[in-house]
Chains A and B, each alone.
Chain A
């Protein structure tokens, strides 16, 4: 029982979820109340996690749950971005009539699932967390149920995700069969000898995880789901599951499979290169901003995985730095997207940005900064994210990966430039509304200033991340 203090955040959020569910059932028209309460409870959750973050390494519940620097940092950025997702989306879900009690509760349950994933040290606990977050995400994707695209995206996500979960489970059972344990550390100890069963298990698990992180060739769901889901859910999709999946990736590769890096390194390198190139090329022809950002996130995941493929602490840290900067850039981008509102209608096509800079100079400037940062042009934060990754990649003399990755950034730069061109060079269109809720403005301001001013103190994230060592 004395262990419970360490999982106080998880307990707190579980209780909050059930409580809000009860409130929602018994109190009429309580959706706004629950939305605010959920946001507040996320802030409290964040405080609780930060409070625990001084812990170095603790095993709980018969070593099936592990709290360490990695899980603490990942949970902090997970819940932190969760708060901003709630802040930015509040107006949006009211306008498009999605303000139901289930919405915040589903988000909270999904976050709970992700937290369990991040801290898991056991195949079964991991799978439970994964399913909890996935089930909530299926519903969230199709939350706008009167909209054909949204329903389609939910169904698509469900079918494909279930398939990948099946593969993942099959991989888990193979691993269990050959290593006689579900505990990550025990698997590491038991799997010193090479055998095909474990290798197949690794492949299946990597496939399942690559699906969750939307890396090529398991990315097919991402564009449709991104486009079909309500924008606030897309933002959620673009950030939180990626954080959780990346930390699980790190966990799997560097705890149970740490001895078998010669087995998985090539796979990760391939997935990484394929994602970088495919994401960059496929985004060129897109007309819908959400679809475009889906492809862009595929290629960004490629860079994050490139760091993981190096089998070095430097590489892991660079990946974590990458995803931290990536989430800020996405927050900023989607905040801009939420501002494209006119007469209670949100616009999300690239053409809708035409000539934006004339009437909305500040919004356009923010978009400009975000897009150049996504393209990885110095001195913006996105450059440093890529710089760290390639620093780690080249340290291991993986020149091919580095050169392909950097050439892909040139291709990717093209479609970001295209958006900038439309914003700045094209003739103007109708004006958008200029009054936005405070949460949205604050998010945009914080994230843009972060991106812009990151170069002044570029060690800020690296110093925190440098505590995370897996090898």
Chain B
């Protein structure tokens, strides 16, 4: 494979952004910029689908690897994908055009800048999931803060400044320790190349501290309880599209990081800290579900539900079972689709009625029947009804958990019930019930572009809910390989200890 397909995937959005930056758009609405952005992001989506098509599902190696000398010979620019990362790449390239189409509704000022920010963001996010070098990973991981900070800060709601700062500083604080760990790894092993590190392994004595440093970064980004508080703020204040990006893509970076780095590089430490992750995940699942129940703001409710869902993800990853990890990856993809869809749905009513308070709505089913249907699909997806993607993820995670620790699995199962409670209650209060508020009568049903974006999300949620095979198929070999390496390292360690 000579054509640098991954680098083109990473760079294409930036080229589009530069193009938009340097061309003058004649109309005030920047229609042409929008078409450019849409075109670029769709091209990227097609490119990633092509990538999926030519991707060898049975191979456990990284594919499409590019390795270039970059930092005076000791750190290389290395990208490549395996079965796990390719799904995330497709998720990103799929969500981005949807965001660009939805821009219409929510962004009124400085549309051009917004499009540039989204495209730059896409570059960084794809980079995160493709990078096979720790420094390159860190670079992309951190760089994503800049566009997101601006998206929340410029186009956000009333408390946007507070939220943007909180988002930025929380994640930066978590990440700097990871940088120390990455540099330490370089001096301990002489490389930051992930593939080489998998082979070399890191000495057991260093693993605990390094694991904690990585954990501090991923825990903030996931977000795990108790460092999740930036998320509701960021979600509530961000514009709809910002929330979509945040929920669908940004939160997945940490889950991916756990699988790729925490499990892959520090197996012994991961085993040591399993209980810690279980406890934090369980608190996240139960506590934030309860918090979500009491929310009056729709976006905040969905934000807290995201924390709970990510709790399932971390739980699944650290069960260290085939089902658990596959379930976590599936859950992340599913949550990426469902939460994006939920935020878009909230955006739809917010744009019409300019409030996100749940008690200001009611009885939407009679005036917006189409909206009621799609919203129902997303609600059911979020609570994990069989037949939607949400079910498969949660089911597999719980299966993995039962295998390892029945108590943990039982407590986590409570979260499923709570999830159903807050989602259904939200749906009931917004869509059913009596229409007390007369102003609602004037609300129109979905517009064309909303139908396009929302149905684009309904299809994969239902399709992969009934037929998860294409996704499972692509992650299976890679997960198995990760687990094999993990168990191999662990057994060696235990053998050497005895």
Q: Which residues of A contact B184 (CB under 8 A)?
A: 394, 399
Which of A361, A377, A406 has a CB less than 8 Å from the CB of B145? A377
- The CA of A407 and the CA of B161, in the complex, are separated in Å by 22
Q: Which residues of B contact A403 (CB under 8 A)?
A: 177, 180
Cβ-based interface call for A409 (8 A)? yes
| Contact A421 B173, beta carbon cutoff 8 Å | no
| Contact A424 B150, beta carbon cutoff 8 Å | yes
Contacts A390-B179, A406-B176, A410-B172 known; A421 to B72 CB distance under 8 Å? no
Q: Which residues of A contact B179 (CB under 8 A)?
A: 387, 390, 406
Which of A394, A417, A462 has a CB less than 8 Å from the CB of B149? A417
Contact with A along B124-148 (1 / 0, CB 8 A): 0000000000010011101101100
- The CA of A254 and the CA of B142, in the complex, are separated in Å by 35
Cβ-based interface call for B411 (8 A)? no
Q: Which residues of A contact B186 (CB under 8 A)?
A: 391
Contacts A394-B187, A425-B153 known; A377 to B143 CB distance under 8 Å? yes
- Nearest to B69 among chain A residues (CB) is A459
Contact with B along A405-417 (1 / 0, CB 8 A): 0110110011001
- Nearest to B180 among chain A residues (CB) is A402
State the Cβ distance, B114 to closest chain A Cβ, in Å: 12
| Contact B139 A379, beta carbon cutoff 8 Å | yes
Contact with B along A64-89 (1 / 0, CB 8 A): 00000000000000000000000000
| Contact A413 B168, beta carbon cutoff 8 Å | yes
| Contact A410 B139, beta carbon cutoff 8 Å | no
Contact with B along A353-391 (1 / 0, CB 8 A): 000001001000000000010000111000100010011
State the Cβ distance, B8 to closest chain A Cβ, in Å: 16
Q: Which residues of A contact B72 (CB under 8 A)?
A: 458-459, 462-463, 466
Q: Which residues of B contact A455 (CB under 8 A)?
A: 139
Q: Which residues of B contact A424 (CB under 8 A)?
A: 150, 153-154
| Contact B180 A410, beta carbon cutoff 8 Å | no
| Contact A458 B71, beta carbon cutoff 8 Å | yes
State the Cβ distance, B155 to closest chain A Cβ, in Å: 10
Cβ-based interface call for A180 (8 A)? no
| Contact A378 B138, beta carbon cutoff 8 Å | yes
Contact with A along B306-340 (1 / 0, CB 8 A): 00000000000000000000000000000000000
| Contact A399 B180, beta carbon cutoff 8 Å | yes
Contacts A410-B176, A459-B72 known; A421 to B153 CB distance under 8 Å? yes
CB proximity to B under 8 Å, residues A126-149: none
Which of B70, B71, B113, B161 has a CB less than 8 Å from the CB of A421? B161
Q: Which residues of A contact B172 (CB under 8 A)?
A: 377, 409-410, 413
Cβ-based interface call for A430 (8 A)? no
- The CA of A51 and the CA of B202, in the complex, are separated in Å by 48
| Contact B161 A425, beta carbon cutoff 8 Å | yes
State the Cβ distance, A187 to closest chain B Cβ, in Å: 33
| Contact A391 B168, beta carbon cutoff 8 Å | no
Cβ-based interface call for B277 (8 A)? no
Q: Which residues of A contact B168 (CB under 8 A)?
A: 413, 417
Q: Which residues of B contact A413 (CB under 8 A)?
A: 168-169, 172
| Contact B180 A377, beta carbon cutoff 8 Å | no
Cβ-based interface call for A344 (8 A)? no
- Nearest to A458 among chain B residues (CB) is B71
- The CA of A421 and the CA of B173, in the complex, are separated in Å by 19
Which of A387, A406, A421, A459 has a CB less than 8 Å from the CB of B177? A406
- The CA of A377 and the CA of B168, in the complex, are separated in Å by 11
Which of A377, A402, A458, A459 has a CB less than 8 Å from the CB of B146? A377
- The CA of A387 and the CA of B183, in the complex, are separated in Å by 9
- The CA of A391 and the CA of B75, in the complex, are separated in Å by 12
State the Cβ distance, A394 to closest chain B Cβ, in Å: 4
| Contact A407 B164, beta carbon cutoff 8 Å | no
State the Cβ distance, B13 to closest chain A Cβ, in Å: 15
- The CA of A354 and the CA of B93, in the complex, are separated in Å by 35
Cβ-based interface call for A395 (8 A)? yes
| Contact B165 A417, beta carbon cutoff 8 Å | yes
- Nearest to A463 among chain B residues (CB) is B72
Q: Which residues of B contact A399 (CB under 8 A)?
A: 180, 184
Contacts A394-B183, A413-B168 known; A407 to B143 CB distance under 8 Å? no
CB proximity to B under 8 Å, residues A451-471: 455, 458-459, 462-463, 466
Cβ-based interface call for B160 (8 A)? yes
Q: Which residues of A contact B143 (CB under 8 A)?
A: 377-379
Interface residues on A, range: 20 to 34
- The CA of A93 and the CA of B449, in the complex, are separated in Å by 56
| Contact A378 B142, beta carbon cutoff 8 Å | yes
Contacts A458-B70, A466-B72 known; A407 to B139 CB distance under 8 Å? no
State the Cβ distance, B127 to closest chain A Cβ, in Å: 9
State the Cβ distance, B186 to closest chain A Cβ, in Å: 7
Interface residues on B, range: 20 to 34
Contacts A377-B145, A410-B176 known; A421 to B164 CB distance under 8 Å? yes
| Contact A378 B187, beta carbon cutoff 8 Å | no
- The CA of A420 and the CA of B172, in the complex, are separated in Å by 16
Contact with A along B236-247 (1 / 0, CB 8 A): 000000000000
- The CA of A391 and the CA of B180, in the complex, are separated in Å by 9
Q: Which residues of A contact B176 (CB under 8 A)?
A: 406-407, 409-410
| Contact B165 A421, beta carbon cutoff 8 Å | yes
Interface centre among A406, A407, A420 (most CB of B within 10 A): A406
- Nearest to A362 among chain B residues (CB) is B21
State the Cβ distance, B150 to closest chain A Cβ, in Å: 6
Q: Which residues of A contact B145 (CB under 8 A)?
A: 377
Q: Which residues of A contact B138 (CB under 8 A)?
A: 378
CB proximity to B under 8 Å, residues A427-471: 455, 458-459, 462-463, 466
State the Cβ distance, A310 to closest chain B Cβ, in Å: 12
- Nearest to B116 among chain A residues (CB) is A365
Q: Which residues of B contact A409 (CB under 8 A)?
A: 172, 176
Q: Which residues of A contact B154 (CB under 8 A)?
A: 424-425
Which of A372, A378, A390, A407 has a CB less than 8 Å from the CB of B173? A407
| Contact A414 B169, beta carbon cutoff 8 Å | yes
- The CA of A358 and the CA of B110, in the complex, are separated in Å by 9
- Nearest to B152 among chain A residues (CB) is A425
- The CA of A417 and the CA of B164, in the complex, are separated in Å by 9
- Nearest to A397 among chain B residues (CB) is B187
State the Cβ distance, A12 to closest chain B Cβ, in Å: 34
Q: Which residues of A contact B177 (CB under 8 A)?
A: 403, 406
Q: Which residues of A contact B140 (CB under 8 A)?
A: 378-379
| Contact B139 A414, beta carbon cutoff 8 Å | no
Contacts A421-B165, A459-B72 known; A394 to B146 CB distance under 8 Å? no
- The CA of A7 and the CA of B73, in the complex, are separated in Å by 36
Q: Which residues of A contact B183 (CB under 8 A)?
A: 387, 390-391, 394, 402
Interface centre among A358, A378, A394, A406 (most CB of B within 10 A): A378
- The CA of A379 and the CA of B14, in the complex, are separated in Å by 13
Contact with A along B44-88 (1 / 0, CB 8 A): 000000000000000000000000001111000000000000000
State the Cβ distance, A358 to closest chain B Cβ, in Å: 8
State the Cβ distance, A273 to closest chain B Cβ, in Å: 15
Q: Which residues of B contact A420 (CB under 8 A)?
A: 149, 153
- Nearest to A460 among chain B residues (CB) is B72
CB proximity to A under 8 Å, residues B20-42: none
Interface residues of B (CB under 8 A from A): 70-73, 110, 113, 135, 138-140, 142-143, 145-146, 149-150, 153-154, 160-161, 164-165, 168-169, 172-173, 176-177, 179-180, 183-184, 186-187
Query: Given known contacts A361-B113, A390-B183, A466-B72, what 13 new A-B pairs fall within 8 Å (CB)?
Result: A377-B142, A377-B143, A402-B180, A407-B176, A409-B172, A410-B169, A410-B176, A413-B169, A417-B149, A417-B169, A420-B153, A425-B161, A458-B72
Q: Report 28 cross-chain contacts, Cβ distance below 8 Å, ordered by A residue.
A: A361-B113, A372-B146, A377-B142, A377-B146, A377-B172, A378-B142, A383-B142, A387-B135, A394-B180, A394-B183, A394-B187, A402-B180, A403-B180, A406-B176, A409-B176, A410-B169, A410-B172, A410-B173, A417-B149, A417-B168, A417-B169, A420-B153, A421-B161, A421-B164, A455-B139, A459-B71, A459-B73, A462-B71
Shortest 3 CB-CB contacts between residues of A and residues of B? A459-B72, A406-B176, A378-B139
